[in-house]
Amino acid sequence: MKYFNTAGPVNCKDHYCLPPLSRFHLPEILRLISQKKYFVLHAPRQSGKTSCLLALEDYLNASESYKSLYINVESAQAARNNVEKGISAIITEIERRIELSGLGLDSQRIVKELFDPHLSLSALNSALTRLAESSPLPFVLLIDEIDALVGDTLISVLRQIRSGYDTRPDHFPSTVILCGVRDVRDYRIQSDTEQMIITGGSAFNIKAESLRIGNFSKEEVRTLSLEHTKETGQVFTTDALNAIWDLTSGQPWLVNALAYETCFKLELGKNPDNPITDCMVEQAKENLIIRRETHLDQLADKLKEERVRRVIEPILTGDLYEGMLRADDIEYVKDLGLITQAPNGEISISNRIYQEIIPRQLSWESQSGMALKQAWFIDDDGRLNISKLIGEFQQFFREHSESWIERFQYKEAGPEILLQAFLQRIVNGGGQIDREYGLGRTRTDLYVRWPLQDGTVQRIIIELKILYKSREQTIEDGMKQVCKYADRCGADEAHIIVFDRRPEVPWDKKIFQDTRIDIGSEDKMNQCSVEIWGM
């Protein structure tokens, strides 16, 4: 039985899959190859890059116009700055792939320079020369995981490929495709031998173009799900398909992971007679986050990088700090798949699951260190007493905020992260928190959904604001925003939390609680009542 794949390349015999060659614009790829171009193909991790390269290798070899070889150079990562060791690992990989490929090339002749110490620093160039010369057709080399290489080994590989470029196609590969997470122009490589930073653009200035493999479209998500329905008869409801799209925005690993979790791990999903519903998809999402699946854990690890922090932190707070955003940082974080950028330049977190996992990850240690019990904040009728919870946090923030926020790498977003840790600690295993934030919003919105005993849902809106103007102006701005959001969500109650981070203001003036009514509404029955909390 086939299944949704979440590990390694797609094999359409074993996995539900979209045709890999449909994932990029094949005519454009073939045009570049026909023009003997060297170019970059990149996409975030677990987006289908390797599957696409392997399919392209098969396609080119079947065309009888080219000889093509796929290699994965990740094994050379361990060599780091040991160039000879790294190049040796790559040439060994070339030999292994030739023997597996059935191309009819003489692998022993190609790799013999491994044993010649005089060629150690140009061994890859020599091996690729022999490879091209032994091929009866123009040779296309597909290099996967190129940006797994480190330091001088990566510089040497790029330079050795560049040095043979002018002898193609008779004495060097006609086309070389470099594949990785990032575009080669974003490489900033620390060279120990040259004691300086080498940029990828300077080490590999023969790149013609950079192509990106995109996410699944909404229609492709539906098509992939239909593969399961054809095999098992189990259907995805329209709401379930919409939920998968809404949560993932088509990120391939997330789509497959949600579908696999829903169809093969949830008890309800294991029975093909049960249709897949949006509630099951939401439960699958929560399971993936709680288990901290490898893909999500790797994503969280990237948050520790300073280049990533400079982009993500202002998104979390909704404010742009002077001098924080840099164009090369934005490109780097886009290549990692963490953010998207609209044509008008607006930057946002790539999908709803990432929106949720990022603050959860940043507050993970804080959640673990909080001695809180869910039962403290649940009323007798099963409702979440959010006012009691925020009041408790208000006192906690007064007593501990300085010491807790000091531990955070994301200090500017510290108040928002700390509150979300507090909330998540209580809501975990019962309700759900949706987050809305983005540059220029000047706020973070939290939408808490808490299931009640009668089968209905308690809906709560919490808006977080940093005080920059006067307190009154901050509250007025927040009232307009939170009431509009509460009306859109059909919320039962709304709260605004104003963080005053001015160190000169005493806590007795920061701490307050008030209730406001949205007097702008002419409909007296539907006026918005908002609790205001200062801290």
What confidence tier does 198 reach under pLDDT thresholds 50, 70, 90? Answer: confident
Tokens representing 208? 């013609």
pLDDT for position 410: 86
Span 116-128, pLDDT tens digits = 655 567 889 988 9
- CA dihedral (144, 148, 152, 153) in degrees, to 10, reads -50
b/e per residue, 165-200, with b = 16+ CB within 10 A? eeebbeebbbbbbbbbbbbbbbbebebeeeeeebeb
What confidence tier does 453 reach under pLDDT thresholds 50, 70, 90? Answer: confident
Span 41-54, pLDDT tens digits = 999 888 999 999 99
Angle 134-139-143 (CA atoms, 0-180°, nearest 5)?
Answer: 115
Tokens representing 454? 């009668």
Span 348-376, pLDDT tens digits = 899 999 988 888 888 776 666 677 788 88
Which pTM does this prediction carry?
A: 0.84
| Tally of CB atoms within 10 A around 326 | 12
What confidence tier does 399 reach under pLDDT thresholds 50, 70, 90? Answer: confident
Q: How far is CA 50 from CA 10, 99, 488, in A?
A: 8, 19, 42
For tokens 């406001």, name the residue.
516
pLDDT for position 57: 97
Coil, helix or strand at residue 468: coil
- Given a contact cutoff of 8 angstroms between Cβ atoms, the answer to whether 349 and 339 are in contact is yes
Q: Give the residue-averaged pLDDT of 96-124.
A: 74
Q: Return the percentage of the chain with pLDDT > 90, whole number.
A: 51
Span 229-276, pLDDT tens digits = 999 999 999 999 999 999 999 999 999 999 999 999 999 999 999 999
Query: Quick one: which of 530, 442, 440, 454 has its CA closest to 491?
Result: 530
Give the domain ranges of the chain.
Answer: 20-212, 218-291, 358-534
Measured CA to CA, the distance from residue 160 to residue 117 in angstroms comes to 17
What confidence tier does 526 reach under pLDDT thresholds 50, 70, 90? Answer: low
Q: Give the residue-averaged pLDDT of 191-217.
A: 77
Q: Quick check: 228 pLDDT over 60?
A: yes
pLDDT for position 194: 72
Fold of 20-212: Barnase; Chain D (3.30.370)
Q: Quick check: 195 pLDDT over 70?
A: no
- Please provide the DSSP assignment of 237-277 as one string: PHHHHHHHHHHHTT-HHHHHHHHHIIIIISHHHHSTTSPB-
- CA dihedral (355, 149, 42, 320) in degrees, to 10, reads 40
What confidence tier does 323 reach under pLDDT thresholds 50, 70, 90? Answer: low
Q: Quick check: 65 pLDDT over 90?
A: yes
Span 129-186, pLDDT tens digits = 989 999 999 999 999 999 899 888 998 999 999 999 999 999 999 999 999 988 877 7
Q: Which of 103-117, 278-292, 453-467, 500-514 has the lowest mean pLDDT?
A: 103-117
* Overall CATH class of domain 218-291: mainly alpha
- Please provide the DSSP assignment of 51-120 as one string: HHHHHHHHHHHHHTS-EEEEEE-GGGGGGTT-HHHHHHHHHHHHHHHHHHHT----HHHHHGGGG-GGGT
Q: Which residues on adjacent β-strands are paired with residue 144?
A: 72
Measured CA to CA, the distance from residue 253 to residue 125 in angstroms comes to 35
